[in-house]
């Protein structure tokens, strides 16, 4: 979905005392996939592997267990869990919250029942993001896109009209410059475009009885279609262009060819290394609040933990140890993502990370139901068609087509 942007203990907690003297605490190399007796296996992506190793070691040392951390491609964690042999399977995985519906519906992950004290410092929306009837993941990190402003090239906009005016003036001020630097590319990018989509009053799914309803599609709702003419204007004046892909977006901002960049915390260090002075704010309200999608990362216990006789231990690690503010703060320091735990968030010292956190206000957790898999492609394509310059499709027609295609895919399962 996105171009961006992560432990194995083998014995029941009731056996900790007996094993403590017998099992040495260690963390297996990321490349090792060989099962070791009395260990918890964790699948984690490259971005979080070192941080996870350190925290897993702390947990394992205090319990008398061994933690085996296996590095996987982030998307491969979800895909490989569907086909992995039981002997090679993980007990715990690092996951994106929007996998929840699919993994839970397929019985690949198990519900969590943490103590109320463990959940007290986890925001309701973060818990809801990992809920599919029941809670299936412990949120540990939050991320979202926001507006990065090169403060040496432009001022932080006061409102949307001010942003539009300043961005277009910057574009006209030099060769090769762009107005609003937001990645799309030929395949589209509904995630990065979401603040503009929500700002025009678009949404993905409505809800029924507190749960997302895939039959209440908001991709081409009446308010959004009424506002879609603004996309046609943005295309005509060159405010937004689908020709900008991820690599180009980065190059434009770091080379001073873009003053306004919609991106996320994974590019904070990129901007710093380029020597850019910047500030991060939420994209200004257009017709509705221009809120971002919220991505919540967390840990999930797989069905295999039970067959490996480590279900209790795996749940202890996920829903107790990793819910603590101290654990999540350390993960933030090591990994550069805003913590889900509110007490840990208060300890964050990094100015840019704090700004990213503030820019998440009112954000929408990416839908975690299986039907969301039918949305990404067509929604991204609608933006591409409507913002590709002279040959662009009128936005209203592009999004109506997307909505029809999405409905058909959802109906077809």
What range does the domain containing 389 cover?
146-291+375-411
- Say whether both 132 and 150 belong to one domain: no
* Separation between Cα atoms, residue 250 and residue 247, nearest integer Å: 5
Instruction: Retrieve residue 306's tokens.
Output: 């039970």
Domain shared by 339 and 230, yes or no: no
170 lies in the same domain as 259: yes
Give the pLDDT confidence score for residue 38 in this predicted structure: 67
Domain annotation covers residue 370: no
190 with 279, same domain: the answer is yes
Q: Specify the number of domains making up the chain.
A: 2
Residue with tokens 């809920």: 131
Is residue 301 within 8 Å of residue 320, measured between CB atoms?
Answer: no
Are 341 and 271 part of one and the same domain? Answer: no
Spatial contact of 147 and 199, defined as CB atoms under 8 Å apart: no
Could you tell me if 238 and 91 lie in one domain? no
Specify the CATH number for the domain of residue 117.
Answer: 3.40.190.10
Does residue 133 sit in the same domain as residue 152? no
Contact 178, 239 (CB under 8 A): no
> Residue 27: what pLDDT?
43
User: Are 199 and 346 found together in one domain?
Assistant: no
Are residues 396 and 270 part of one domain?
A: yes
In tens digits, what is the pLDDT along the chain, a chain of 413 residues?
333 442 222 222 223 332 232 233 334 443 445 555 569 999 999 989 999 999 999 999 999 899 999 999 999 999 999 999 999 999 999 999 999 999 999 999 999 999 999 999 999 999 999 999 999 999 999 999 999 999 999 999 999 999 999 999 999 999 999 999 999 999 999 999 999 999 999 999 999 988 899 999 999 999 999 999 999 999 999 999 999 999 999 999 999 999 999 999 999 999 999 999 999 999 999 999 999 999 999 999 999 999 999 999 999 999 999 999 999 999 999 988 999 999 999 999 999 999 999 999 999 999 999 999 999 999 999 999 999 999 999 999 999 999 999 999 999 97
Instruction: Report the distance separating Cα 296 and Cα 143, nearest Å.
Output: 6
Residue 366 domain-assigned?
A: no
Q: Does the residue 362 lie in any domain? A: no
Is 33 a domain residue?
A: yes
Q: Tell whether 4 is covered by a domain.
A: no
What's the distance, CA 15 to chain centroid? 37
What pLDDT is stored for residue 35 in this prediction? 53
* Pair 257, 173 in one domain: yes
Would residue 360 count as lying in a domain? Answer: no
Residue at 68 is within a domain: yes
Cβ pair 194, 292 in contact under 8 A: yes
Query: Is residue 38 a part of any domain in this protein?
Result: yes
Indicate whether 23 and 65 sit together in one domain. Answer: yes
Residues 23 and 119 in one domain: yes
């Amino acid at each position: 979905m996105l171009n961006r942007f992560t432990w194995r203990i083998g014995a029941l907690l009731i056996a900790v005392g007996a094993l403590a003297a017998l099992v040495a605490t260690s963390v297996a190399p990321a490349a090792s996939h060989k099962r070791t007796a009395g260990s918890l296996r964790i699948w984690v992506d490259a971005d979080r592997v070192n941080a996870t190793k350190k925290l897993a070691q702390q947990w394992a040392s205090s319990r008398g267990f061994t933690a085996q951390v296996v590095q996987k491609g982030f998307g491969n964690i979800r895909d490989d869990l569907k086909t992995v042999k039981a002997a090679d399977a993980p007990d715990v995985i690092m996951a994106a919250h929007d996998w929840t519906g699919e993994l839970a519906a397929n019985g690949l992950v198990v519900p969590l029942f943490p103590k109320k004290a463990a959940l007290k410092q986890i925001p309701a929306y973060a818990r809801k993001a990992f809920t599919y009837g029941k809670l299936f993941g412990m949120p540990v990190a939050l991320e979202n896109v926001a507006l990065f402003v090169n403060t040496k090239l432009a001022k932080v906009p006061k409102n949307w009209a001010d942003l539009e005016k300043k961005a277009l003036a910057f574009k006209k001020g030099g060769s090769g410059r762009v107005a609003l630097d937001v990645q799309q590319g030929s395949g589209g990018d509904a995630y990065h475009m979401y603040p503009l989509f929500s700002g025009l009053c678009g949404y993905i799914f409505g809800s029924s009885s507190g749960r997302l309803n895939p039959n209440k599609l908001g991709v081409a709702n009446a308010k959004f279609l009424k506002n879609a003419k603004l996309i046609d204007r943005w295309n005509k004046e060159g405010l937004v262009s689908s020709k900008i892909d991820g690599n180009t977006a980065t190059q434009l901002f770091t080379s001073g060819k873009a003053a306004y960049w919609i991106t996320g915390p994974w590019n904070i260090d990129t901007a710093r290394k380029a020597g850019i002075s910047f500030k991060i704010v939420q994209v200004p309200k257009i017709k509705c609040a221009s809120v971002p999608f919220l991505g919540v990362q967390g840990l999930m216990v797989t069905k295999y933990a039970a067959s490996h006789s480590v279900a209790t231990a795996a749940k202890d690690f996920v829903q107790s140890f990793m819910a603590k503010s101290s654990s999540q703060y350390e993960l933030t320091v090591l990994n550069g993502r805003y913590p889900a735990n509110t007490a840990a968030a208060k300890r964050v010292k990094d100015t840019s990370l704090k700004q990213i956190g503030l820019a998440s206000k009112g954000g929408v957790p990416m839908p975690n139901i299986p039907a969301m898999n039918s949305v990404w492609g067509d929604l991204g394509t609608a933006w591409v068609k409507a913002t590709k310059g002279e040959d662009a499709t009128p936005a209203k027609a592009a999004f109506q087509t997307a909505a029809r295609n999405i409905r058909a895919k959802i109906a077809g399962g």
